Structure 1
Amino acid sequence: MVVLCGTDRPPGLEPVERAADVRYVPADRLAAELPGADVLFVWDFTSRAVPAAWPAADAAPGWVHIASAGVDTLAFDALRDGDTVLTNSRGVFDAAIAEYVLGLVLAFAKDLPGTLDAQRHHDWRHRETETIAGRPALVVGTGPIGRAIARLLSAAGLRVSGVGRTARRDDPDFGEVHAAGELRRVLPDTDFVVLAAPLTAQTTGMIDAAALAAMRPGARLINVGRSPLVRTDDLVAALRSGSIAGAALDVFDAEPLPADSPLWTLPGLLVSPHMSGDFAGSLTTLAQLFVANFDRWRQGRPLHNVVDKHLGYVPGGAAGPATAGHPVDEVPVAGTGQEGLPAWTRT
């Protein structure tokens, strides 16, 4: 087994090391180590090294697992069209990202950036803030992360709807889900637009100049999905012109964000360093998820979180066809010592 990592190795892989020849390699050694390996664990999920290092079909690994929910760094033809099974870390980040989104919504509504700025300048500046109860929110992406966001925003009093591949009513988390083709039509009806969709050919650039022009002048955009969902230049223009009230970005075209990027100083923009899903203990949880799936692989049992390589995500409301009956967004029982770990990894 090959683990693609940088200077930091995943914690807690001792059970795997006892059962397999585990080789921890940086990106520049991947091409030499990968041919003939049975398993590739992409711990450094931001790395772009895998496509260039991918071996011939007869030497390709049978299983690739990535320590992220998104698999766009692995969207290349040789993997997509081959027999390799691809799994992801769906289910780990749902609650943390939902909490982060709620925090951003409250930060906008209560002008917390303004309060902090006034404090820094010793400026006693009383002002009124917005309420969020009853305000419309649109979550683009109806997978587990989007559903966790919808549930938490609904609990806080917002009126939430969703955008997904197909339209439907009476959804348990969104109420109404609009088809992706209806996005621009429903944008004028919402105050908070939250992007939590996977990056696919269909979602790339979905928030462009036309979509931003369709939004309310007082609306805010929050992107915790993938940066290419938004046309950055169009967003810069919209914020500079004031056509929307604000935005929060947790993902960027270039990471770390360059020091000379105009995004740092744009009015109404909150910048965070791709951290919305990262919580204390998340690295251990990611490694435990892989260890649990590794045990299934050794036993010849179906793997959890199997990605449809042509869709670019795990289909279905649970964790894909191989995991029916094991929803990964099930809330773990507090006090078990495995809080935050998807429920199926404890079975």
Structure 2
Amino acid sequence: MTILTILTSPDKPRPAVFDRLGDDAEVRWVEADTLAAALPGSDALLMWDFFSTALEDAFPTADRLSWVHAASAGVDSLRFRRLVDSDVTVTNAHGVFDQAIAEYVLGVVLMFAKRSVESLELQRDHVWHRRETETVAGTRALVVGTGGIGRRTARLLRAFGVDVVGAATHARAGDADFSRIIDSAHLGEHLSSVDWLINAAPLTDATRGMFDASVFAQLPSTARFVSIGRGASTKTDDLLAALSDGTIAGAGLDVVDPEPLPPGHPLWDAPNTLITAHLSGDTEGWTDRLAQQFLTHWDRWVAGEPFPQTVDLRAGYVPSET
């Protein structure tokens, strides 16, 4: 009989729609400390606890595993050598979070342009203070990462009149969502006129620590940094310094390093900075959407049909069709 192992955690909900998985398989619900014992004989693994790093240590016990699904957009916790070199097919939550995260980015951009945080502070202090705000039309955004989330972000920003350039592993012109795409290896050459630098990149060897002091120094002092990719792609100390000394004008951070950000960390008090708890994709019903996506994949797998897309673990993301 087919065996499906589901890695969960005490705080993760168990969607009722998963009950039907038992019609096609033996389902093993496990937590990180029992994953290794459950993997022998397992044909498929659902990483429902998508923040867990337990699979790397448990993977040697997987003697029959052919498919791993991560209920997340990022797959950096799965990019360990044994899995990368294996024949196991990996899928992820590609597409589930695109709209929600793009809306978050747009909201941060508008918040900075319209000085919303300052307005709330004035309201709390009962101060009537008229001042000018900014318009986003005519500004320029550089979105690093041209996958589904980056593309949806570009579409929303373009609808507000923002010129959006993308950065990816290869430069190209004539893209449907970006005015052009630059080579991210030459990021520094394209920063001098950027108003909004947006990190939507997967975490790979190339992007780890990408956003550092040299990048921030090449931005205009009026630029803002918005990060919804992975915290480790930004050098936190460099970002903190850039915010503190006015090298850049502000930051909207849904991901940070370390994460969770410890109480008392100086980034909490950085000037002109909004920090949220890695929640940009967590709109109402998001776990239901993740569950439904997995069930759709499951039905394909049981029927022997191909998945709509798979992850290239060596690259660290689902290859773009564009």
TM over 0.5: yes
1:5 equivalent in alignment to 2:8: yes
Q: Decide whether the 8 Å contact of 1:87 with 1:304 is kept in 2.
A: no
Deviates more, 1:247-256 or 1:166-175: 247-256
Separation in 2, partners of 1:18, 1:280: 29
Measure the CA separation in 1 of the matches of 2:27 and 2:309: 22
1:148-163 equivalence runs, <5 A: 148-163=152-167
Is 2:243 the counterpart of 1:234?
no
In the alignment, what sits opposite 1:299? 303
Partner Cα separation in structure 1 for residue 301 and residue 93 of structure 2: 15
Given that 2:253 and 2:276 are in contact with CA atoms closer than 8 Å, whether structure 1 keeps it comes out as yes
Per mean C-alpha deviation after superposition, the further-off stretch among 13-22 and 101-110 is: 13-22
| Aligned counterparts of 2:33 and 2:283: Cα–Cα separation in 1 | 29
* Structure 1 unaligned regions, length at least 5: 319-347
| 5+ long unaligned stretches in structure 2 | none
Aligned match of 1:203 in 202, 207, 226?
207
Q: Is the 8 A contact 1:188 1:216 kept in 2?
A: yes
Given the alignment, which residue of 264, 289, 302 partners 1:260?
Answer: 264
User: Per the alignment, in what secondary structure is the counterpart of residue 155 of structure 2?
Assistant: helix
Match of 2:21 in 1: 16
Give CA-to-partner distance per residue, 1:270-314, whole Å, 9 cap, x none. Answer: 100101111111100101100011111111111233111211111
Specify the alignment match of 1:308 in structure 2. Answer: 312
1:185 equivalent in alignment to 2:189? yes
1:171 equivalent among 152, 172, 175: 175
What amino acid is the match of 2:155? R
Q: Percent identity?
A: 49
Q: Deviations for 1:148-172, whole angstroms, at most 9, x for unmatched residues? A: 0000000011111111111111111
Q: CA deviation at 1:182?
A: 2.1
Alpha-carbon distance in structure 2 between the residues aligned to 1:60 and 1:205: 36
Question: What is the count of residue pairs matched by the alignment?
Answer: 317
Amino acid at match of 1:13: F
CA distance in 2, matches of 1:207, 1:37: 40
Deviation at 1:37, TM superposition (A): 0.7
Query: CA distance change for structure 1 residues 67 and 241 in 2, over 3 Å: closer, same or farther?
Result: same
1:50 aligns with 2:58: no
Q: CA RMSD in A?
A: 1.2
2: distance between equivalents of 1:234 and 1:255? 16
Letter in 1 for 2:253: L
Cross-structure match for 2:32: 27
1:60 to partner: Cα distance: 4.6
Stretch of structure 1 that moved more, 250-259 or 161-170: 250-259
Aligned to 2:197, the other structure's residue is in SS state strand
Any residues of structure 2 matched to 1:45-194 within 5 Å, and which? 45-56=50-61, 59-194=63-198
Aligned AA for 1:44? D
Q: Which residue is equivalent to 2:278?
A: 274
Structure 1 counterpart SS, 2:174: strand
Q: In 2, are the aligned partners of 1:195 and 1:225 still within 8 Å (CA)?
A: yes
